[in-house]
Amino acid sequence: MKYTKATFKLTPDNETNREILVAYLSELDFESFDETEQEVNAFFPINKVSTEAIETCLSTLPFQVNFSEEQMPDINWNEEWEKNYFKPLLINNQVLIRAPFHKDYPQAQYEIVIEPNMAFGTGNHETTSLMMSHLSEINLENETVLDMGCGTGILGIYASMLGAASVTAIDIDSWSFEAVVENSRLNNVSNLEALIGDAQLLGEKTFDVILANIQKNVILQDIEKYISVLNDEGLLIVSGFYNEDLEDILVKATELGLRKVEIKEQNNWIACAFQK
């Protein structure tokens, strides 16, 4: 798959404005972000995000942003990740995430091999790490798990390793479906079903644990549907939003009868667990 890189230069350029920019851009179909000292970069499959949509998004910001776009060369992403981005990652001293090309890495109780596909889903983003930390602390033995916005499938794969009876992984992107199938094979996970779509795919099947590492607006839009397929006493764990968005999530969840169990935070990103 070929990608476009959008480069954003902010005036004034500071951490707060960068966080606001990424939060606004996250409402579009960008697959990943990275930053340098001079700029913020966002990546998306060619033709997935229009220039007009980006300009409309930027026009609502309270500071100036100039942006440019360029088509990424058709390069070896494994090699690029190995050199610049994806390093072996140990979470909670319990689970190691690495790529097939990594040769030097620590030992851990659980080891997940992920074929990198841009940035989301390698564990290096705070929200993925936070979600995995939640999973490490709950008993998943013989539980049924749903992973909404599954990306590379890392959360569902980890749930399977922790003893889940079955995992359903759903994402709107075809690249995610392909990544989940490949990564399940790499990790010898046979009880994970990958599907392409959104919450409209949810029918009569119910789940003991639902994971949704997506975006604030998608969570607020679909949380009622998640609850409808969540078993009594089941857990809903959500992430993909900033600390300043937490209150909106808490209010909606409380209105729908969920009980807050635990909140985790890392670099202003939040992952929150609720019980039905």
What domains are defined for the chain?
A: 3-71 (3.30.70.100), 119-275 (3.40.50.150)
| Alpha-carbon dihedral 162, 168, 174, 176, rounded to 10 degrees | -20
Q: Tally the residues of the chain.
A: 276
Handedness of CA 165, 171, 175, 177 (dihedral sign): positive
DSSP state letter for 97:
E
**pLDDT for residue 45:** 79
Cis amide bond preceding 12, omega within 30: yes
Mean pLDDT of 49-67: 93
Residue 119 — very low, low, confident or very high, per pLDDT cuts 50/70/90?
very low
Q: What is the mean pLDDT of the chain?
A: 88
Residue 121 — very low, low, confident or very high, per pLDDT cuts 50/70/90?
low
pLDDT at 76 over 60: no
Which runs of consecutive H residues, i.e. helices, occur in the chain? 15-25, 51-59, 77-84, 126-136, 154-161, 174-186, 216-228, 246-255
How far, in Å, CA of 21 to CA of 57, rounded? 9
Q: What is the per-residue pLDDT across 136-157, written as a single tens digit (0 to 9) for each?
A: 999 999 999 999 999 889 999 9
Mean pLDDT of 200-209: 92
Percent of all residues in the chain with a pLDDT value above 70, rounded to a whole number = 92
Residue 133 — very low, low, confident or very high, per pLDDT cuts 50/70/90?
very high
How far, in Å, CA of 273 to CA of 264, rounded? 9
How far does the chain reach from its first CA to its final CA, in angstroms? Answer: 40
CB 154 within 8 A of CB 128: yes
**Closest of 225, 220, 276, 221 to residue 248, by C-alpha:** 220
Mean pLDDT of 218-232: 94
- In this prediction the pTM is 0.73
